[in-house]
A and B are shown apart, each in its own frame.
Chain A
Amino acid sequence: MPMSCWRLRHAALLTGCILLLSMPTAVPQPAAPPKAPGEVIDIGVVRPIVRVREIIAIPNFNAKSASAFKDPALLTNIIYNDLELSGYFRRPEHPEFVEQNHRADKRTGKIEFGEWLRLPAAFLLKGTYTLSDDQLEVDCLLYDVASGKRIFGKTFSDYTLAEHRILAHRIADFIIKYITHEEGIANTKILFVSSRLGHKEIFIMDVDGHNQHPLTAERSLTATPCWGANATEAYFTTYRDFNPDLCGVYSNGGKLWFISRRPGFNISPAWSEKAQRIALTLGKDGNSEIYTMDRNGQQLKRLTFNRAIDSSPSWSPQGNQIAFTSDRSGQPQLYIMDSEGFNARRLTFKGTYNDSTAWSPKGNKIAFTARHLGVFNIYLLDLETSDWIQLTHNQGNNEGPSWAPDGQHLVFTSDRTGTQQIYVMCIDGSGQTPLTSTGMNHSPAWSPAMP
Chain B
Amino acid sequence: MKISRSYLASLFALVLSLAVFATGCRTSPQVRDHWWQLWRPAKPTTASIYPEDQILPPPPDIVDAQPLGQIQMLPLETPVPPEITPPEPAPIRVEPRGIVSELKTVYFDYDSAMLTSEARAMLENNAQWLLQHPGIQIQIEGHCDERGTIEYNYNLGQRRANSVKEYLLSKGIDPGTIHTISYGEERPVDPGHDAGAWKKNRRTQFLIY
Contact = CB atoms under 8 A, between A and B. Distances in A.
Interface of A: 200, 221, 223-224, 239, 241-244, 263-265, 267-268, 281, 283-288, 304-307, 309, 311-312, 325, 332, 341, 344-345, 353, 355-356, 369, 371, 374, 376, 397, 399-400, 413, 442-443
Interface stretch (B52-60, B89-97, B99-107): B89-97
B167 interface: no
Contact of B81 (A284, A305, A309, A442): A305
B77 to A, nearest CB: 5
B14 interface: no
Interface string B69-99: 0000000111111111111111111111000
Contacts of B123: none
Contacts of A311: 151-152, 154-155
Contacts, number: 126
B91 A263 contact: yes
A281 B155 contact: yes
A371 B154 CA distance: 17
A374 B148 CA distance: 9
The 10 closest A-B CB pairs, nearest first, are: A286-B85, A264-B88, A263-B88, A243-B91, A241-B93, A305-B81, A309-B155, A355-B152, A355-B149, A399-B149
Given A221-B186, A242-B181, A285-B83, A356 B158 contact: no
Given A283-B158, A306-B77, A400 B180 contact: no
B189 interface: no
Interface string B146-185: 0111111011101100100000000000000000111110
B95 to A, nearest CB: 6
B87 A285 contact: yes
A309 B163 CA distance: 13
Nearest to B148: A353
25 contacts: A221-B183, A242-B92, A242-B93, A242-B96, A263-B91, A264-B180, A265-B182, A267-B151, A268-B154, A284-B88, A285-B88, A286-B83, A286-B86, A287-B85, A287-B159, A288-B155, A305-B78, A305-B80, A306-B81, A309-B159, A312-B151, A374-B147, A400-B150, A400-B151, A443-B150
Contact of B151 (A268, A286, A341): A268
A399 B158 CA distance: 20
B81 A369 contact: no
Given A281-B155, A285-B83, A307-B82, 13 more contacts: A221-B183, A223-B186, A224-B154, A263-B91, A264-B181, A288-B159, A304-B77, A305-B79, A306-B78, A307-B81, A325-B152, A355-B151, A355-B152
A426 B181 CA distance: 37
Contacts of B95: 242
B150 A267 contact: no
Contacts of B148: 353, 371, 376
Contact of A223 (B87, B93, B150): B150
A391 B148 CA distance: 18
Among B84, B91, B139, B151, chain A packs the most CB atoms within 10 A around the CB of B151
Contacts of A443: 150-151
A223 B184 CA distance: 10
B88 A356 contact: no
Interface string B10-27: 000000000000000000
A391 to B, nearest CB: 16
A244 B88 contact: no
Contact of A286 (B87, B147, B154, B156): B87
Contact of A200 (B84, B139, B149, B186): B186
A356 B148 CA distance: 11
A442 B150 contact: yes
Contacts of B181: 242-244, 264
A356 B83 contact: no
B23 to A, nearest CB: 45
Nearest to A346: B76
A312 B159 contact: no
A355 B151 CA distance: 8
A218 to B, nearest CB: 13
A200 B184 CA distance: 13
Contacts of A285: 81, 83, 85, 87-88
Nearest to A200: B186
Contact of A283 (B79, B88, B183, B184): B88
A306 B95 CA distance: 31
B154 to A, nearest CB: 6
A374 B145 CA distance: 14
B159 to A, nearest CB: 6
Contact of A264 (B77, B79, B158): B158
B109 to A, nearest CB: 12
A263 B150 contact: no
B132 to A, nearest CB: 26
A286 B88 contact: yes
Given A312-B151, A353-B148, A288 B158 contact: yes
A314 to B, nearest CB: 11
A164 to B, nearest CB: 35
A235 to B, nearest CB: 14
Contacts of B80: 305
B112 to A, nearest CB: 11
A139 to B, nearest CB: 47
A244 B153 CA distance: 14
B199 to A, nearest CB: 16
B158 A305 contact: no
Contacts of A221: 183, 186-187
